[in-house]
Amino acid sequence: MCELQTTILMGSLSAVLVFLAAIATWIAACTSHSFNIFSKRREKFRLYLEFMMEYRTPRMHAAVRDLCRFLRRFGDGGKKTTLQQIYEKRRDKEEGHERANIPPQESLAYLETTLHYRRRLVSQFYHSLYEALRNDLVVQDDVFGCWDPGTLRKIIGKILLELHQDDDKRLEDLLKMAETWEKSNPRASA
């Protein structure tokens, strides 16, 4: 009888240990999942901050400023071909000036002052931002809560898309994302 009680006790103890092990495994899985979510959020925020820091550089500020000046000077929403033709003439003039008058060692510094370089800088920034949003690497609320959709419409819609020689699906999609976000967030338009 003592042997039977010991067997029952051992069986019960084993069942309790298995149950406790299952609970410990579940707690570990939940904790791991929580840390994983936290880590992903932290990484998304870090990437968002990198975009913000890049956008706030003097180089990017000068590029956006020059593109806005170009738009103000040569037409705000005018004919696409006219604005594009003016841009292409200026680009050709800048490239010709660079080849004719600038020593090779100063060529890079001059290149960074050209409108074409600045358009490419801003365009590539927004391409990267679009890819980060599309791949869920940054949070839309963070991005579109910071960048005013009206500003995006001006920079992307009226400047970059008009100056691109070909249609740029990524920039068009980024603009659509911003507009969709703006419609779904009533506070954004207030």
pLDDT tens for each residue of 73-103: 887 555 555 888 888 888 888 888 767 777 7
Q: Would you say residue 72 has pLDDT above 60?
A: yes
Domain span including residue 3: 1-40
What is the Cβ-side half-sphere exposure of residue 97, based on CA atoms within 13 angstroms?
11
pTM higher than 0.85: no
* Three-state secondary structure call for residue 108: helix
**Is 50 domain-assigned?**
no
Question: Same domain for 181 and 140?
Answer: yes
Question: Same domain for 80 and 105?
Answer: yes
Question: Same domain for 5 and 80?
Answer: no
> For residues 9 and 127, which has the higher predicted lDDT (pLDDT)?
127
- Number of structural domains found in the chain: 2
**pLDDT at position 10:** 73
Q: For residue 62, what pLDDT band results from cuts at 50, 70 and 90? A: very high
Question: Same domain for 72 and 145?
Answer: yes
**pLDDT at position 160:** 87
Question: Same domain for 35 and 100?
Answer: no
Task: Tell me the two tokens of residue 107.
Answer: 């060529």
139-179 confidence digits (pLDDT tens): 888 888 877 777 888 888 888 888 876 678 888 898 888 88
**Is 150 domain-assigned?**
yes
Question: Same domain for 17 and 106?
Answer: no
Q: Do residues 122 and 63 touch, judged by C-beta distance below 8 A? A: yes
In one-letter notation, the amino acid at residue 37 is: I
**pLDDT at position 59:** 92
Question: Same domain for 20 and 79?
Answer: no
Question: Same domain for 80 and 108?
Answer: yes
Q: Do residues 143 and 133 touch, judged by C-beta distance below 8 A? A: yes
* Three-state secondary structure call for residue 113: coil
**pLDDT at position 183:** 86
96-128 confidence digits (pLDDT tens): 876 777 777 788 888 888 999 999 999 999 999
Mean pLDDT score, 29-55:
81
**Is 49 domain-assigned?**
no
> For residues 137 and 99, which has the higher predicted lDDT (pLDDT)?
137
Sequence-ordered list of residues with C-beta below 8 angstroms from that of 79, at least 6 positions apart, any chain: none
